[in-house]
Amino acid sequence: MSAVAQETVSEDEMPAVHFLNHVHTVKSWLLTMDHKRVGILYLLTISFFFLIGGINAGMIRLELMTPGADFMEADTYNTAFTMHGVVMIFFFLIPSIPAVFGNFIMPIMIGAKDVAFPKLNLASWYLFIAAGILGVVVTMMGGVDTGWTFYTPYSSTYSNGNVTIVAMAAFLVGFSSILTGVNFMVTIHKMRAPGMTWFKMPLFVWGMYATSLIMVLGTPVIAITLVLLMLERTLHIGIFDPALGGDPVLFQHLFWFYSHPAVYIMILPGMGVMSEIIACFSRKRIFGYEFIALSSVAIAVLGFFVWGHHLFIAGQAIYAGMVFSFITMMVAAPSAIKVFNWTATMYRGSISFDTPMLYAMAFIGLFSVGGLTGVILAILALDIHMHDTYFVVAHFHYVMVGGALTAFLGAVHFWWPKATGRMYPEGWARLAALLVFIGFNLTFFPQFILGYLGMPRRYHVYPPDFQILNVMSTAGASVLAIALVIPVIYLIWSLKYGKVAGSNPWQAYGLEWQMTSPPPAHNFDETPIITEDAYSYHTMNFKVKGSEDQKTLEEAEVEH
C-alpha cells in the first residue's frame, strides 16, 4: 500500500484541517456531499431514536416488575412495546452500522474519495429524517398499538391507533435504506482503488455488500405490503381482512419475506465489524478469510427463503413448514462458520483487551446464544410450544442487542478516535463494556426460562408465578440502562478533553489507519494502489506504546 497520511502532519498530532472543520456552517452540514459527514449526521439521529426506543423499553420493564397493571393502562403498554419495536428496528438497528459506519469508513476502506452517488446519499438521510418526523408526530398523537409486525386484520380493521401514519413512516425509511443499498453496491463494484480485488477487501466491506443486496431486493416488498395495508385501512379494499374477502395470513407471508431478511440487514454489518476488530486486536489475518466473506453472501441469499418459519402454526401447510425449517437449518451453518473462524483467528495471536475487543469477545458469546436458540426455534415441533413466548423475545434480543448493538458499540469505540481524533478514557469504557455484558444477560437470560414456562409475549399483566424471573429481568435492564449512559458521557467529554489519538492508535492495518484522524475532507490526495491482502498484520512493525518519548520511536510503516 502506498502511504497516504498528510505529509505535513506528524502521525500523533491533530491535523489543522480535516473533514469536521474545513467548513463550519450549518449549511455545509445540511447540504454535505461528504460520506463521512453523512455518517456523522446518521450517528446523531439514530442516537436520538435509540433514546426514544430505550425509554419505551424502560417503561415496558417497569410495568412488568409486578404481575398486575399498576404503572400504565393496557393501551399505553401496547403502544410502548409497539413503539419500542418500530423505533429500534426501523430507526436504529437497520440504519445503525450501515448508515453510520458503512458511510463513514467503507469508502475509505476501498480507497475511494466518496460513495458513488453523494447526492443520493444525502437524500437517503433526508428520507430518514422525514420518516423520523412522522414517527415523532405519531408518538405525540398517541402512538400505535399493533406491535411492530402490523399483523392483519388487527392493524387493517380493528386497531384504533395511527396505523396508516406509522406504516407511511416505515415505508419512507425503507426507501432511505434502498438508496443506501444501491449506493453501496455501486461504490463497491466501481470505486475500489487499483489492486483492491474482491478478495483483498476488508471483510466489513463484504458485510456491507451482502447487506446492500438484501436492502435492495427485500425492502421493496415491505414497501408494497405497507401500501396494501394502508389501502385496506383507508379505502377498505379487501386484501387481508377476511370480512372484506381477504386473507390475513397473506400479510404474514409478505411481511416476513422482507422482515426475516431484515434480521440479516441488522446482523451482517455487525459481523463485518467483528472481523475488523478481532483481526486488529489479535494482530492476525482473519482465519479463513474467504469463508467469512462468502458466508455473508450465503446468508444474504438463503435468508430470502426462510420466512415461513414465522408461520409454522399460523395455518401454513405442514409440508411448507418442513421446507422452511430445513432451509433455516441451512442458513444457520454460515453463521456457525463465522463464529468458528473468529475464534480460530485468536489462536496464536497477540491479543490485547482494549474496549473494542471486549465488545468483540462479548459478541462471540452472545451471538452464539442468539444463533443457537434460533436453531432451537426453527425445529418444527419445538416451535409449537415456544412460538410467541418470551423464549422468542429472549432469542431475538440476544441477536439484536447481544449481537447487533454490541457490534455497534464495538464499532463506535473502534472508529471513534479515527472520526474525532480523540481517545476516550479507556478505564471508563472497559467498565461500561463489562456492565453492558452483565446487564444484558441479567435482562434477557431469565426470559428464556419464562418463555419455556409459557409466558406469552406482549402481555401487560401476567400470572404471579412468573414474577421472580420478571423482576430479575427488570433489574438487569436497569444495569443495562446505566451501562449505556456512561459511554454517552465519556464520549462527549472526550471531544474536548480526550488524548489526541494520532492516525493509528490501535496499530491497525488498513487504509483508514494511514490517514490523519479525523480524516481529511477528500480522503486521499492520491489514489492508493493496493498490493497486499487485507489484515496483513504479519507485515507491520509494531511500536512500543505508552513511553513518553513515543515520537522518537520508529514510525510504524507498512512494508511492501
Partner 1 sequence: MNKGFQLHPDQASTFAPELDLLYFFVVIVCTFFFVLISVLVYAFAVKYRRRSDDERPALIHGNLPMEIAWSVIPLALMMIMFGWGAWLFFKVYQVPDGALEINVVGKQWMWHIQHPTGQREINELHMPIGRPIKLTMASEDVIHDFFIPEFRVKNDVIPGTYTTMTFEATMTGEFYLFCAEFCGTEHSRMTGRIVVLEDSEYEDWLAGGAADETPEEAGLRLFSELNCITCHGEVANARGPSLTGVFGEEVRLAGGDRLTMNEEYIRESVLQPRARIVQGYSAIMPTYQGQITEANLLNIIAYIKSLQGTTQE
Least CB distance from residue 228 to partner 1, whole Å?
Answer: 17
Task: Please enumerate, as own/partner, the contacts of 18-21 that have beta carbons within 8 Å and a separation of 24 or more.
Answer: 18/421, 18/516, 18/518, 18/519, 18/520, 18/521, 19/518, 19/519, 19/520, 19/521, 20/420, 20/518
Least CB distance from residue 10 to partner 1, whole Å?
Answer: 19
Least CB distance from residue 334 to partner 1, whole Å?
Answer: 8
**Residue 69 or residue 227: which is nearer to partner 1 going by CB?**
69
Give the torsion sign (CA, 23, 25, 28, 34). positive
**Residue 189 or residue 499: which is nearer to partner 1 going by CB?**
499
Alpha carbons within 13 angstroms on the beta-carbon side of residue 492 total 6
Contact residues for 51 (Cβ-Cβ < 8 A; gap 6+)? none
Phi, psi of 558 (to 5 degrees): -90, 125
**Residue 427 or residue 464: which is nearer to partner 1 going by CB?**
464
**Residue 288 or residue 425: which is nearer to partner 1 going by CB?**
288
Least CB distance from residue 295 to partner 1, whole Å?
Answer: 9
At CA 522, angle to CA 519 and CA 526, rounded to 5? 100
Least CB distance from residue 472 to partner 1, whole Å?
Answer: 11
**Residue 194 or residue 242: which is nearer to partner 1 going by CB?**
242
The answer to whether the CB of 192 falls within 8 A of the CB of 201 is yes
Q: Specify the 3-state DSSP secondary structure of 74.
A: helix
Least CB distance from residue 396 to partner 1, whole Å?
Answer: 15
Task: Please enumerate, as own/partner, the contacts of 315-323 that have beta carbons within 8 Å and a separation of 24 or more.
Answer: 315/249, 316/249, 321/380, 322/380
Least CB distance from residue 289 to partner 1, whole Å?
Answer: 7
Least CB distance from residue 510 to partner 1, whole Å?
Answer: 16
Least CB distance from residue 104 to partner 1, whole Å?
Answer: 28
Phi, psi of 535 (to 5 degrees): 60, 40
**Residue 113 or residue 458: which is nearer to partner 1 going by CB?**
458
**Residue 10 or residue 368: which is nearer to partner 1 going by CB?**
368
Give the C-alpha separation, 156 to 231, whole Å: 9
Residue 464: Cβ-neighbour burial (10 angstroms; 0-12, 13-18, 19+): exposed
Give the C-alpha separation, 443 to 463, whole Å: 19
Give the C-alpha separation, 313 to 44, whole Å: 41
Give the CA-trace dihedral at 370, 372, 374, 379, to 10 degrees: -160
Phi, psi of 554 (to 5 degrees): -60, 135
Least CB distance from residue 339 to partner 1, whole Å?
Answer: 6
**Residue 22 or residue 348: which is nearer to partner 1 going by CB?**
348
Q: Which of 112, 37, 14 is nearest to 518 (CA)?
A: 14
**Residue 290 or residue 525: which is nearer to partner 1 going by CB?**
290
Least CB distance from residue 371 to partner 1, whole Å?
Answer: 9
**Residue 54 or residue 246: which is nearer to partner 1 going by CB?**
246
**Residue 114 or residue 383: which is nearer to partner 1 going by CB?**
383
Contact residues for 362 (Cβ-Cβ < 8 A; gap 6+)? 402, 406, 433, 436, 437
